[in-house]
Amino acid sequence: MTAFIQRRLLLAVPTVFAVSAAVFLMLHLIPGDPASIYLGDNLATPERLDAIRHEMGLDRPIYTQYLDFVGRALQGDLGRSLQNGRPVALELSERLPRTAELAAAAFVVSVVFGLSLGILSALRHNTWVDTFGMLVALVGVSMPIFWLGLLAILVFSIQLNWFPVTGQHGIASLVLPATVLGGSSRWSRCSDSRSAVS
């Protein structure tokens, strides 16, 4: 088990570098100029654009920019947001507790409902319960998570007004996204637990 974890950790290092390089390259290939976004349309004179590009290091070769980014990232400096100028690491740390809360809630939903439905389907093999469980699993696996999320917002937030669409309103704000996110893995848990029991 320890050897498996070590191999996974070793494989994670080149994977992270490859993904970061690909994202870095794509950000430079898409249209748009970070300096003009930072300054806005009213302040983007050629002189100020050149000054901001130099300050951000955008006038250097792309490989130098990437190596500088990796060096700063390894020290915990992820740069500053173009929208508000705040450090990106600070922005991420402020949002991390909410993300962890949502991930934990989605995991609980996935385990509780997925295993329950899978065990019921296995215990009631070849009955309507089994058929219903497999139908739910098939629909859940086939439907993209973003589409399921939009449908859930449309039905439960806009039409029925049961849950808020956005914002932080206690447990009510957590139920719908946790259920939708938990659903992406819940369906596979349903079929896995069904196979294990049967």
In this structure, which amino acid lies at residue 78?
Answer: L
Residues contacting residue 183 through CB under 8 Å, at least 6 positions apart:
109, 110, 140, 145, 148
DSSP character for 19? H
User: Quick one: pLDDT at residue 43?
Assistant: 67
The whole-angstrom separation of Cα 155 and Cα 56 is 45
Residue with tokens 């950790």: 9
CB-CB contact of 177 with 102 (8 Å):
yes
The whole-angstrom separation of Cα 102 and Cα 3 is 31
CB-CB contact of 114 with 193 (8 Å):
yes
CB-CB contact of 174 with 102 (8 Å):
yes
> How deeply is 146 buried, as exposed, middle or buried, from its count of CB atoms within 10 A (0-12, 13-18, 19+)?
exposed
Q: What is the pLDDT along the chain (198 residues), one digit of tens a residue?
A: 688 788 888 888 888 888 888 888 887 777 777 777 777 767 667 777 788 788 778 788 888 888 888 888 888 888 877 777 788 888 888 888 888 888 888 888 888 877 777 788 778 777 887 788 777 777 767 777 788 888 888 888 888 888 877 777 777 778 788 888 877 655 544 444 444 444
The whole-angstrom separation of Cα 121 and Cα 133 is 6
The whole-angstrom separation of Cα 107 and Cα 92 is 21
User: Quick one: pLDDT at residue 106?
Assistant: 85
List the beta bridge partners of residue 1: none
CB-CB contact of 194 with 133 (8 Å):
yes
Q: How far is CA 84 from CA 37, 41, 81, 91, 126, in A?
A: 11, 16, 6, 10, 58
Model confidence, pTM: 0.59
From the CB of residue 174, how many other CB atoms can be counted at a distance below 10 Å? Answer: 19
User: Quick one: pLDDT at residue 102?
Assistant: 83
